[in-house]
Structure 1
């Protein structure tokens, strides 16, 4: 199943999500993202949402555009952000700031060598962090991306993917 097939399943309530998916996936070249960044971000979001139908559609869509290392890096981003976003969201939201001073002690060695360019992995991680609502992680990933001269358009595109893919999952589930 492709993204086009996936969005055809939406009911009337999902019309906007269908149009948004079509617009995003039909305009990858003008998104400000490379194909590896675009499809890697989309894959990391699908993996994070843990929806088999969405994952299958996203993998089918990405298959012709990226190499296998992008699939592995997207899974790594989804997995590490599932852990980090919970931990750092707690640190950020806890009224007692002593927790921010304690070492996290969480293994995340995969971030040092994710199998794709560091900027690409940061974009994947940013989108998943936005999906998971971790402000502290969002700030950290944006700072790294800005330091590496990633455009505001590319950063916004990764967040638009997060928003639309999350909405599409809901539209599909309600169909």
Structure 2
């Protein structure tokens, strides 16, 4: 199982998706760890079993075990935070902004996994779930650490393409 398996499963109408998948996984702007951690965290966020299995298999060739575990931890943690902070924002009552979250956040870095990788993976997950509060916070952290807008933009492209891959493949499975 691999990205090649996913590409082979794409229907002819999804040629643009296949081309974009090749482009984002070439990783011209992102280091290997940031790229494959973003792909893995994004895949987990899509909830698509086929995409998760195949991206995880391929990511295992590019990530050390501790980086893969950290990317999965980011997806898990952000599943909590994205819902909570997006909901507080959408309620529209500023008083909620002053209430403490009381949500644990232990995964900020792991030996061999820097804070910039964790923040980039958090941006990818937040883009898929549509949490503007989390996107702003994690993008600000990345930019504050000296990460360029081009790198942030590339992380967003990875998230968008992995999400589109899951949407397309799951839709095709439902149509069969």
With the shorter chain as reference, the TM-score category is over 0.9
Structure 2 length as normaliser, TM-score?
0.92
Distance 1:132 1:22 in 2: 23
Cα deviation code 1:57-82 (max 9, x no counterpart): 11221222210011111111101110
Q: Give 1:27-106 correspondences, 5 Å limit.
A: 27-28=26-27, 30=28, 32-106=29-103
Q: Give 1:149-160 correspondences, 5 Å limit.
A: 149-160=146-157
Structure 1 length as normaliser, TM-score?
0.93
Distance apart, 1:130 and its partner CA: 0.7
RMSD of aligned alpha carbons: 1.2
Assess if the C-alpha contact under 8 Å between 2:127 and 2:156 holds in 1.
Answer: yes
Cα deviation code 1:66-106 (max 9, x no counterpart): 10011111111101110000111112222211111111111
**Residue matched to 1:12:** 12
Distance apart, 1:34 and its partner CA: 0.7
Distance 1:66 1:95 in 2: 40
Distance apart, 1:110 and its partner CA: 2.3
More deviation, 43-52/128-137:
43-52
**Residue matched to 2:165:** 168
Counting matched residue pairs gives 171
Distance 1:78 1:168 in 2: 17
Assess if the C-alpha contact under 8 Å between 2:78 and 2:126 holds in 1.
Answer: yes
Q: Runs of 5+ in structure 2 lacking a partner?
A: none
Distance 1:13 1:173 in 2: 14
Distance 2:165 2:118 in 1: 23
Cα deviation code 1:134-172 (max 9, x no counterpart): 101111011100111101111011100111111111111
